[in-house]
Structure 1
Amino acid sequence: MTSDAGKSVLVTGLCRAAARRGIKVAPFKAQNMSNNSMVVRSRDGRCATSSTSDYGEIGRAQWVQALAAGATPEVAMNPVLLKPGSDRRSHVVLMGRPDGEVSARDWHDGRARLASAAFAAFDDLRSRYELVIAEGAGSPAEINLRATDYVNMGLARHGDVSTIVVGDIDRGGWFAAAYGTLMLLDEADRALVKGYVVNKFRGDVDLLRPGLADLEARTGRSTFGVLPWHPDLWLDSEDALDLDGRRSTDGARKVAVVRFPRISNFTDVDALGLEPGLDVVFVSDPARLAEADLVVLPGTRATIADLEWLRSRGLDRAVLAHAAAGRPVLGICGGCQVLGRTIADPHGVEGPAGSEVAGLGLLDAVTTFAPEKTLRVHEPAGYEIHHGRVTGETRAGAVTGTMVHGSLEDDGIRSSYLREALGVASAVSFPAARERRLDLLGDLVEEHLDVDALLELAG
């Protein structure tokens, strides 16, 4: 019914539940808006060459959902990805590849082309999978956008898709939102809505049942289950920088991650957040950074603008002081570029063509932006996604830079870095932890939702 209602979590759990039953299932989201993306290979999961054209971007949530489904992630699972560049403009990724920009003003006119691509991707997945579980975006009752919608009821109408309305009851007002959402839909859209799922419920579910019965009497739609709030139900972050539940006890080594205004791919530090010997926090002021044992400069969607922000807040001086004291600094992608000597933009990728700015100078490296985006997957872990080409040295004492996202998810790479940088021994397996959480989510869905009824709706 809203953004952050738990739709991604529900789809992930249903994908795991369906896969457990031997169903060939795939996730789908027509349009995602996030700066946290993953690089995936071609449709069949193979690459004939190492060319960047063999790869594409999708939203992190759909990548995790594919893992839960036991499916190979591919660009058709998230055909339209919008990466916010400012409050009013977004970079468009269409079928995994950059496709220009769109503004709030010209958004209406540009949606028809995106809708056509999204519908074609959905139809393609349907032809190859027994079950496709589609996730909407925001609310299906955004009636100001309905005429050009292809993500919610527009997709449902296109594919004659049975629809479930998901709501976060922890926010309050769930019953009013559930009833109002249905009433705002036109008759044809309303006919596709088959019922509700309550998410993030705390307390005794018996206290909820009279209200659910009343809602069914008023709308003719039943509730297919009530998912409880669970403290261990953490999945890869996408739209929120919420590390609650991943903080460590007193005595842990402190990791300060610079909270760039245009931060991207911040899941790079999720694996650090699971280490019991580390206390990971996002910071935006020099005082908190000065307390850290390790400083991380993460990825950013706008390296030059966020470097300027870093300097405006005095964070550059704090990073330099941290490095001068011999304490470790780690820069990832945009963060790596910030640590170098210069950043040049000859083609105007991020700003005026021909511009050049000085970096922090902690690495003897230079960055040059190119019009074509580099997309590449690494083994055993990690991926590249950037316009900036870095040449020179990416290591100087305790200062390390890398253009590879996700490498810390590999237990061997993370263990080696933590031992060398902080003298800390890794105590967790990140892939195993993710798999346990996917299984936990599948267990919760099986226990608290009527999965058989939902599968019957899907035919």
Structure 2
Amino acid sequence: MAKTIMIQGTMSNAGKSLICAGLCRIFRQDGYKVAPFKSQNMALNSFITENGLEMGRAQVVQAEAAGIAPQVEMNPILLKPTNDTGSQVIVNGEVLQNMCAREYFAYKKQLVPEIMRAFHKLEETYDIIVIEGAGSPAEINLKQDDIVNMGMAKMAKSPVLLVGDIDRGGVFAQLLGTLMLLEEEEKNMVKGLIINKFRGDKTILDPGIQMLEERGGIPVVGVTPYLSVEIEDEDSLTERFQGRKEAELIDIAVIRTPRISNFTDFIALENIKGVSLRYVRDCRELKHPDMIILPGTKNTMEDLLWMRQNGLETEVKKGAAKGTIVWGICGGYQMLGESLSDPESVEAGGRIDGMGLLPMETTFVRQKTRTRVNGTFQHIGGILKELSGIAFEGYEIHMGETRGKDMPMSRIKDYVQEKSSEDGLSKGNVYGTYVHGIFDKEEVTTTMIRAIAKHKGIDPDEMEGVDMKAFKETQYDLLADSLRQHLDMKKIYEIMDRGITDR
């Protein structure tokens, strides 16, 4: 049977996902077969596995760190918020239905067999399973029938490491307060504490750590620093949205819609020297970028109406008329067309006009497209015409069908169903595609950025793209090296060996 270690946090964004990824890489480096697991994830950033199933990106990142292919058993339940009170419920990679929060709260206990089936399947293959919790285990209004924090720890019989975020202040109150709100049985499962995101001289912290251990009765197994590693974020709490605001040689603006999803599509662009990538929410922030990106969204029609109301749609159309590059991905691609129809009320229902920048129409259907693809740019003009003939790969995940009235931008092969089809459209300097991850290949980003540089009169030899696969490997190693320095790995191995036996 696999050994387990579970990482829970005092709050959302305490750093659970990153520490899980680092532990996955450490255990892999130490010669173990390791897999991540999170019973229930809530995120708009999702991923499609090689067999066409949908899962949260945090476990994809952790699987990559572990050196294995992501599989849906690592995240059997995914909740994708559709509005402030409801989510699309995805079980074992496939859509179950949309539920309001109260409805799901009453239903979720029925999913325990699916959770345990997935967990046991991983146990059969791997030496170690790194389990991630969600939010906080001390949410007293949610503890009944919990399936993701202490409820999951009990089902997996897993020892727990509790992580607190010192960067947001009050870390001692976070950790001790969480322990105080746990039942005695639950508290006995917490075998170590981690203070995360620390900046400064650790010796100043030592008296507080001593008091924390005395009052909590649980050892501190690490004080981890505020890490500067480039690893994908998953949810709306990402600090990526608060990044650079000033334009560099080439300036790219991503429209940060209320329901933005899969913003990890743009990490490759963020890491190119001389390129600024800014997330903007209003016309004042937009300024005069060289390229505007309309990202994926969980609700295309409502996010388009949001852009229409705050004036960003008008600014995008003005930019396109002046020759600014506009690129839409998935929901952003759908917005660029002439119309969006929702006869089955998959989103908001009804019909609205699109931006009219591409000659196409989109109709929403209940059947979700989920697949991985590779393809080649074909009929593409404008500033980015040099992309023609270049290969790319990625995945599709959407609930709309788009019919274009012109030549498609690319030819793609669906390697889940093993069939070829056409994708995307371009007109002038406006481009659209359903493919997420289309910028991840170095040849794509290098060609694109050099073309923009050449158009602006900048020496294109100064601009080099990023091979995301190779770049990620360096970042996982940096993460593991840092955690090794600041975590007591000997103690963590001892905790896993002992399991949940009493201290």
Bin of the TM-score, shorter chain as denominator length = over 0.9
One-letter amino acid of the counterpart of residue 17, structure 2:
S
Does residue 124 (structure 1) correspond to residue 93 (structure 2)? The answer is no
Aligned to 1:161: 158
Q: Does 1:280 align with 2:311?
A: no
CA contact (8 A) 1:28 1:78 kept: yes
What percentage of aligned pairs have identical amino acids? 43
Q: Say yes or no: does 1:217 pair with 2:214.
A: yes
Q: Name which of 380, 383, 388 aligns with 2:400.
A: 388
2:66 to 63, 69, 73: 69
Contact 1:79 1:118 in 2 (8 A): yes
Q: Alignment partner for residue 35 of structure 2, among 19, 26, 37?
A: 26
- Structure 2 CA distance, aligned partners of 1:329 and 1:404? 16
Query: What do residues 92-138 of structure 1 show as CA deviations (whole Å, max 9, x unaligned)?
Result: 11111111112122232111122332222112211221100001001
Which of 15, 18, 42 aligns to 1:9? It is: 18
Matched, 1:101 2:63: no
Q: 1:304 to 1:250 in 2, by over 3 A?
A: closer
2:179 is matched with which residue?
182
- Corresponding position of 1:362: 357
Q: Which residue of 1 aligns with 2:488?
A: 450
* SS of match in other structure, 1:146: coil
1:426 corresponding residue in structure 2: 464
Q: Deviations over 1:48-69 (max 9, x none)?
A: xxxxxx3111111110000000
Residue 330 (1) aligns with residue 334 (2) = no
Partner of 1:294: 291
**Aligned mates of 1:243, 1:147 — CA distance in 2:** 34
- 1:114 maps to 111
Residue 350 of structure 1: aligned partner: 347
> CA, structure 1 residues 410+248, in 2 after alignment: closer, same or farther (shift >3 Å)?
farther
Distance (Å, rounded) in 1 between the aligned partners of 2:164 and 2:285: 36
* TM-superposed deviation, 1:296: 0.5
Supply the AA of the counterpart residue of 1:8: S
Matched to 2:258, the amino acid is P
TM-score normalised by L of structure 2: 0.85
Change (3 A) 1:241 1:173: closer
1:382 alignment partner, SS class: strand
The code of the aligned residue for 1:434 comes to K
Q: C-alpha displacement at 1:381, in angstroms?
A: 2.6
**Cα-to-partner distance string for 1:22-46 (whole Å, 9 max, x where unaligned):** 10000011111110111112xxxxx
CA contact (8 A) 1:344 1:368 kept: yes
- Superposed CA RMSD in Å reads 1.7
- Aligned residue number for residue 47 of structure 1: none
TM-score (norm. length: structure 1): 0.93
Q: In the alignment, is residue 89 of structure 1 matched against residue 86 of structure 2?
A: yes
The answer as to whether partners of 1:58 and 1:81 remain within 8 angstroms in 2 is yes
Quick check: 89-98 or 172-181, which moved more? 172-181
Cα distance in 2 for residues equivalent to 1:348 and 1:251: 42
Deviations 1:242-269 (A, max 9, x none): 3379649764221111111111111111
Counterparts in 2 of 1:17 and 1:205: CA distance versus 1, 3 Å:
same
Tell me the distance in 1 between the aligned counterparts of 2:137 and 2:195.
16
Q: Which residue of 1 aligns with 2:380?
A: none
Any conservation in 1 of the 2:255–2:295 contact (CA below 8 Å)? yes
Q: Secondary structure at the match of 2:98?
A: strand
Q: Deviations over 1:72-92 (max 9, x none)?
A: 101111111111111101111
Segments of 5+ residues of structure 1 without an aligned counterpart are 42-53
